[in-house]
Structure 1
Amino acid sequence: MSSKSLKYYLGLDYPVELTHESDDGGYWATEIIDLPGCVSHGDTPEEAIENLNEAKRLWIEDHLANGYDVPEPADARGFSGRVLLRLPKSVHYRLSRDAAREGISLNSHLVRLLVEASATRTALDALSESVEEHRTRIVALENRLGEREPITAGAD
């Protein structure tokens, strides 16, 4: 059981995941990963966040009232920034060679590659979602156009 108060937990900066969902006419979904099951949604990002803040308060109140642990945000637990990475010698050699060509340390090169890969993944996910939304709109337009009577030449 936690000796910390509701006010303490509400003051912590929990990372929020915000995604646009295209089903059911489209809405914004929000989630606090560090608080399992703490989710909400809204018609706009602002509404979704506002609803999530209320869900967070209720989630924490419930856990405190029932004697359950309330996790702190992952960032608050403090990561060291150190990662042990094992890789094949050939990959290690190639990455070291690439770093030397750029005049930076292997560590700096790896950090740059990881940041770029993460940003690329995020961009691809957003692009994929956008493509799916556009595909859905195109299909809807095609369906609407298919329902219209064809235009014939010379018709008044």
Structure 2
Amino acid sequence: MRYPIAIEPGDATHAYGVVVPDLPGCFSAGDTLDEAIEMAREGIELWLETQIDAGGGIPEPKAIAEHQANPEFANWIWAVVDVDPAIISDKAERVNITLPARVLRRIDEAAKSRHESRSGFLARAALATLRNEADKVGGK
């Protein structure tokens, strides 16, 4: 998944501040622009891991242009952090599944268009389905 990040420019005495608009409360910082982006990746992974452990869903990232329209981020630097949801799990487990070739091709195309691995795409899709089912049971 590719999450846009907003980076507040730093200077000689202030670090670069990072906000992940799609993930409420997810923020980070770094002394350099490169460090700020890398720290944002770690922050996103931790946020997603915490959300999954709590039984929550993973928000879909919005387009950078949508966030740039927010005056709160005027004059901020924008970047995109690519995170594979499959690596968030504390333990990877190999499974053997059988799917029609046509379905597998569609999965691979969808994963590629989102810059995800097949495993990451399937994990995200499964978690979204589980979240939707939980919302229906909970009356949301």
Q: Structure 1-normalised TM-score? A: 0.39
* Larger radius of gyration between Structure 1 and Structure 2: 1
Q: Which has the higher helix share?
A: 1
Q: Which has the higher strand share?
A: 2
Q: Structure 2-normalised TM-score? A: 0.43
